Each structure stands twice: as C-alpha cells, then as structure tokens.
Amino acid sequence: MSPRSILLVAVPQARFLDLVGPMEVFNTANDLLVHRGKAPAYTLELAGFGAHVTTAAGVRVVTTPVARCAPPHTLMIGGKLALGVADPLTSRQLEALRPLAVGAKRVTSVCAGAFVLGQLGLLAGRRCTTHWMVARELQRLYPDAIVAEDALYVDEDPVYTAAGMTAGVDLALYLLERDHGPALALAVARLMVVFLHRPGGQSQFSAALTLRANADDRLRSLVARVLEAPAEDHSVEAMAATVGMSARHFARVFQKQLGKPPATFVREARLDAARRALEVSDHGLAQVAADTGFGTEETLRRVFHQSLGTTPAAYRQRFHRGSAAR
C-alpha cells in the first residue's frame, strides 16, 4: 500500500502545537514501521501562504507555498487563535487553499482551523468542534454548523475537526487507528507517552478546571470539598443542603455558574481522583472505587469505559508511576 500524503497548512500565527502535535503522531508511526522493516505509512509536508510562517510562539518555520502543493490524501489546517479571536483567511488565501480541500480524501482542522473549514463551506449541516474559547463564535458565524462546544474531536467523515492544543494529537491518533489499526496507534501513543485514545466526546476540561471566575463563594467552597473528598455524599440533595438551597434551585444555580449539572461534575471529579489513584498507588480496584466515591469495581469499570474508552486495569498499566520501568 502506497503511503498516504498528509499536508498540514499553517496560517500566520498558528499555534505551534497544533502543527507539530499531529505531525509527530504520523512521523512516529513512520519511524516504528521502518524499524520493523516496513514501508512508511505517510508522507508529510508543511505548507503555508509563503516560503515560511511565523507561529504564535515566534518560531519561524519553512513551508511549501500552498499554491505549489498537490491535493493530498489528508489535509490538516491549523488556525490562528489569540485571546479568543480566530482570524479568517483572505479571499486570495482561501482560493489558493480551495483546490486542495476539494481534491483531498479527508479534510481536518485543529483549533481555530475550523473557521477555515467554515469559510470553505465544509461545516454546513455537520457536527464540528474547535477550541472552547471560540466555539460560540464559530456557531455564530456558521449557524448551519452543529458545534459541539466541549468535544475533543468530531468525526463527520470526510471532515474531521479537533479542539485546540493536545486535542490535535488525539485526532491524529484516531486517524492513525482508522488507517492502520489499534496496534500501531497504541504503539505510537506509548512512545509519545500519551493516552490512546481519548474519546472524541470527552470533555475538553478536567473537573478541577470547571470552576469559573464568576462562581460565588459558596459554590467555590463546595467544589473544593468535592475535589478534596470525592467519596463523601455529594448527591444533589446533600450539596444543596450544604449551601442552604433547595435541590431544584441549587441545580439551576450550579448549571448556570459552572456550566454543567452537579451530578456530572461529581462524576468527573471522582473519575479524576480514580485516575490519580491508579497512577500513583498500588491499591486494588475495589479500594480505589471505595476511596473515590464509585463504591464498586463494577461502577468504576463502567465509568472508565464510558468516559475514557478503556478499563481501570489498562489505564493503570499505561500510566502507573512504575510503568516506565516494566
């Protein structure tokens, strides 16, 4: 099978990680295959709207001008994201890029690259995602798109979109697994010391990052308590009583100030605690389940499968502090 061509297009001031993260996934796959005596799976090329591009980090990268590129198998676009603003392409840039998008088998974006897909007319009627800071702006500009604000990545074959930063790595691993199966994708993830693979629907935030600046002091204290003691009774009724509200009013206030239902937050906090326990302790799964509020191993396994697409045992094998020595 001939290698699939991947063309990453960097707009001026693109986030460096949005480019090199996915590129390293495919490059590492090539390295592994060559090491095994096989042919590389991909050809990689970085393109821009000139002979070089300066990223948001100030790194100047040599690029092939888009106008000189042939349509690839997979087109990946990383957009500019600065203080919540995603700059559109000029009409000249857009017309240079359009033939590549039309001729590609897959068109993908990372972070604010989704705005470029919107300009190309590729988001209408499709689910998509982007960095959480600009998700609502994407929806406003492209009302025919179905923006999943909190998703890591979205598969709407042949269009794929990823949230910002490390979510580009998640999307690249997902594409690698589709192309060459889970074994190679797993090997790449292990070499890159990342998790294979976070489900696309997983939240862009951990529970500890949920608290918003406008949350009142009572909710701040309550959230801190949930994070510190996940095994305690954190039912809606118990939490409402703690802050002196009715259960219904508490649920509304919590949703408004933290952006998610109380039960969802508690579940995420317990999942984060269970992950940490599996990473740093040697406690059995029953003990981990009890200590983190899940109660039983069965519940712990179910939540891991639903949220992370893996088992607690597999997660521990990958990320336990002693894994590197085994």
pLDDT tens digits, one per residue of 250-300: 999 999 988 889 999 999 999 989 988 998 889 999 999 999 999 999 999
pLDDT tens digits, one per residue of 65-78: 999 999 999 999 98
Contact 188, 139 (CB under 8 A): no
**What are the tokens at 69?**
């590129």
Domain range for 229 is 207-325
Task: Check whether residue 224 and residue 295 sit in a common domain.
Answer: yes
Task: Check whether residue 164 and residue 122 sit in a common domain.
Answer: yes
Task: Check whether residue 184 and residue 60 sit in a common domain.
Answer: yes
- How high is the pLDDT of residue 214? 59
Contact 129, 148 (CB under 8 A): yes
Does residue 148 carry a pLDDT above 70? yes
Q: What are phi and psi of 150, to 5 degrees?
A: -110, 5
Task: Check whether residue 238 and residue 285 sit in a common domain.
Answer: yes
- Strands (E) in 216-305, as ranges, are none
Which residues, including other chains, have CB under 8 Å from residue 148's CB and lie 6 or more apart? 127, 128, 129, 154, 201
Last residue of a domain, one of 192, 227, 255: 192
Does residue 203 carry a pLDDT above 60? no
Give the torsion sign (CA, 259, 261, 267, 269). Answer: positive
Cα–Cα distance between 266 and 239 in angstroms, integer? Answer: 10
Task: Check whether residue 228 and residue 176 sit in a common domain.
Answer: no
- Nearest C-alpha neighbor of 144 from the set 128, 161, 158, 126: 126
Task: Check whether residue 281 and residue 224 sit in a common domain.
Answer: yes
Name residue 70's amino acid.
A
Task: Check whether residue 25 and residue 168 sit in a common domain.
Answer: yes
CATH number, residue 305: 1.10.10.60
* Domain membership flag for residue 22: yes
Number of structural domains found in the chain: 2
pLDDT tens digits, one per residue of 48-95: 999 999 988 899 999 999 999 999 999 999 888 765 566 788 999 999
Alpha helices in 36-181 (DSSP H): 91-103, 113-119, 135-141, 167-180
Look at strands 106-110 and 159-162 and give their pairing: parallel
